[in-house]
Amino acid sequence: TMLPLLLLLLPAARAIVELPDRPALTQTPPLEGLTTASTFVLDQPRCVFENYSNAVIWLVVALDKATSTFNNTARPGTSETAFQRFPASVSAYMTLNATLANYPCRKPAGDITVLRVGSETSCAQDEARPTCNGPLPGPGPYQVKFLALEGSEPVAETAWSEPITLRTAKSPSTIPTTDSGHSAGMIAITTILSILFAILLAGLVAMLVFWDSDSCGGSSTFSKPESVTVRRYTPHHVYDQPAARL
């Protein structure tokens, strides 16, 4: 009587294939914002699930401390794996589902073969979309893996990634507002420029004073020209001659 029961349990006891691949932050091509305060960028799992053409490939995002307790048989799109419940009551959620056709082994020319985790904001509070790729709620650290499901049955998975820690925004109170926050090089450059400006200003003032004194001294060298008196000259022979006789 136990044999039929064991035969029924055999499909459920099928082992998941553990693939040697491990998700990682992308390195090529280098991208701006590899990690932000709520997102990070992974390489796509290309040439990883070629033997599972009928599978749907999911990304599992978990808190670093919850990887060992994640249940591979958990179904995506349920309250057990909903993004909106992460991390309050759910320690790992499932998102970014794709088929093998989305991850061809050969990279098409010009394609950017990366995944940005945490890029969807419109569905972050929408419980009707439990598989939302919403912004991550904190710096982490997080670990991720890819899980292939055929129907609702897990058939293959990658290893967990190394822990991924996001950036933390600085508090306004920690930003220096005094000169002590300036570098020594900046202070030296400012001092040199101030000295050069003072020298230039002093030279300009001295030049103006010199020009003013030179103009005043030059005016004193001019004198009023003496008036020239022209004396009338009357020849004596005009008066000495006797009057003409008729």
pLDDT digits (tens, 9 = 90+) for 29-53: 666 789 999 999 999 999 999 999 9
Least confident piece of the model among 145-149, 171-175, 213-217, 237-241: 237-241
Terminus-to-terminus CA distance in the chain, angstroms?
Answer: 193
Q: If you average pLDDT over residues 69-95, what whole number do you get?
A: 95
- pLDDT score for 172: 56
CA distance 28 to 44: 12
Rounded percentage of the chain residues whose pLDDT exceeds 70: 72
Query: In this predicted model, which residue has the larger pLDDT, 217 or 179?
Result: 217
Query: In this predicted model, which residue has the larger pLDDT, 210 or 126?
Result: 126
DSSP string, 42-84: EE--TTTSTT-TT-EEEEEEEEGGGGGG--TTPPTTSGGG-GG
- pLDDT score for 183: 62
- pLDDT score for 74: 92
CA distance 237 to 71: 151
What pTM, to 2 d.p., does this model score? 0.65
Q: Is the pLDDT of residue 120 over 60?
A: yes
Q: Is the pLDDT of residue 86 over 50?
A: yes
Query: In this predicted model, which residue has the larger pLDDT, 147 or 237?
Result: 147
Q: What is the spatial order of strands in the sheet that 92-99 belongs to?
A: 17-18, 153-157, 142-150, 56-63, 92-99
83: helix, strand or coil: helix
CA distance 143 to 160: 6
pLDDT band at 15 (very low <50, low <70, confident <90, very high): confident
CA distance 173 to 73: 46
Work out the burial of residue 89: count CB atoms within 10 Å of its CB; fewer than 13 is exposed, 13-18 middle, 19 or more buried.
exposed
Q: Is the pLDDT of residue 211 over 70?
A: yes
- pLDDT score for 9: 45
**Contact between residue 96 and residue 133 where contact means Cβ atoms under 8 Å apart:** yes
Query: In this predicted model, which residue has the larger pLDDT, 186 or 214?
Result: 186
- pLDDT score for 97: 96
